[in-house]
Amino acid sequence: MRTFAIAASVAALALGLVGPASADPIIIKFSHVVATDTPKGKGAEKFKELAEKYTGGKVKVEVYPNSTLYKDKEELEALQLGSVQMLAPSNSKFGPLGIREFEVFDLPYILPDLKTLRKVTEGPLGAKLLKLLDAKGITGLAYWDNGFKQMSANKKLVSPADYQGVKFRIQSSRVLQAQFKALGSLPQVMAFSEVYQALQTGVVDGQENTWSNIYTQKMHEVQKYITETNHGYIGYVVIVNKKFWDDLPADIRDQLSKAMKEATAFSNAQSQKENDDALAEIKKSGKSEIIKLTPEQDEAMRKAMEPVYKDAAGRVGQALIDEFQKEAKSTTN
């Protein structure tokens, strides 16, 4: 029986019935730290669907959500080593890699709305920033939105004075560190996957994140108050290992680029809705009280965070901050 099977496969090979067409697919491991039911999670699934379709199965995309493969910092190292091919880290995550310019996205109130953000990321400024990744063995493919950040804690955060002495989890970003220091808080760097437990056990008192991240990580269940500050932005750069990308057959790379373009449009078109829906679910749960700021309270928060700009100028560069602010001005005027 066995002899027959071997003979049959040899014959099939000779007849050209099997061969290169049945070659192993190219595997793209796409790792990320958030839930599938988020703007990034859905974008990754969309890319998988389109990439596999356009390449006719020659590429297989394996998506690993929720830090199942790697936590924040480890995932970038893994990409550089080639253990994983694709990631979508938040802009903040590139500072520790030595590309400080990306921390400009962390500046409080730098981007008034998603329209301005899009102008930046889809224009020459966005392209210039992506190019900076090359030197680290990384190719930047696209910008994906999450949305604007809110502040949560177990106490009411209304005026800047309320932030005094509060321990906040932050992503590893010097700009975010300066932001909380300006408010008199105690910032603590921590991986995203550890935030829920840290809030639950009181290792930290509060955190800042988007509605979709707060909801899908159940942070609202362990935070009594969430203040609608919209003070900062979380977005992502979809990146690949440069060598892996450059070594792909040109036709495959083109099909993957097409899939990425469409997945980006899909993801960015529904990010706002994802966050709106998450906010509605949090409200419905009744677990966290949502606090809205008056225009005066909002103004006081902006004022309290102003010193962050001066601090950041030395790191991300005043010229880059000016370019961002110029875009913001031209959109709102």
**Distance from C-alpha of 149 to C-alpha of 202, rounded to nearest angstrom:** 21
Query: CB 313 → ligand LMR: shortest distance, Å?
Result: 23
In whole angstroms, the minimum distance from the beta carbon of 296 to ligand LMR comes to 29
Nearest distance from C-beta of residue 33 to ligand LMR, angstroms: 5
The nearer residue to ligand LMR, 196 or 244, going by C-beta atoms, is: 196
Non-local (6+) Cβ contacts of 23 within 8 A are none
| Shortest Å distance, C-beta 274 to ligand LMR | 11
| SS3 state at 268 | helix
Nearer to ligand LMR (CB atom), residue 28 or residue 33: 33
Smallest separation (angstroms) from ligand LMR to the CB of 324: 19
Give the pair of three-digit tokens for residue 236.
Answer: 């992502």
Burial of 65 (0-12, 13-18, 19+ CB in 10 A): buried
Nearer to ligand LMR, 92 or 255 (CB): 92
Residue with Cβ nearer ligand LMR (60 or 73): 73
CA distance 66 to 44: 12
Rank residues 87 and 157 by Cβ distance to ligand LMR and give the closer one.
Answer: 87
Q: In the complex, what is the shortest distance from the CB of residue 236 to ligand LMR, in angstroms, rounded to a whole number?
A: 7
Binding site for ligand LMR (CB under 6 A): 33-34, 90, 146, 171, 192, 209, 213, 234
The whole-angstrom separation of Cα 166 and Cα 83 is: 38
- C-beta contacts of 220-224 below 8 A and 24+ residues apart: 220/152, 220/282, 220/285, 220/287, 220/288, 221/285, 221/287, 221/288, 222/196, 223/152, 223/153, 223/154, 223/199, 223/288, 224/153, 224/154, 224/155, 224/288, 224/289
Indicate the residue among 182 and 234 with the shorter CB distance to ligand LMR: 234
CA distance linking residue 143 with residue 151, whole number of Å: 24
Nearest to 26 by CA among 86, 80, 81: 86
Closest listed residue to residue 63, CA positions, set 94, 39, 91, 27: 27
Residue 34: CB minimum distance to ligand LMR, A: 5
Please report how the helices 124-131 and 318-332 are oriented relative to each other, as an axis angle in degrees rounded to 10: 150
Which is nearer to ligand LMR, 30 or 192 (by Cβ)? 192
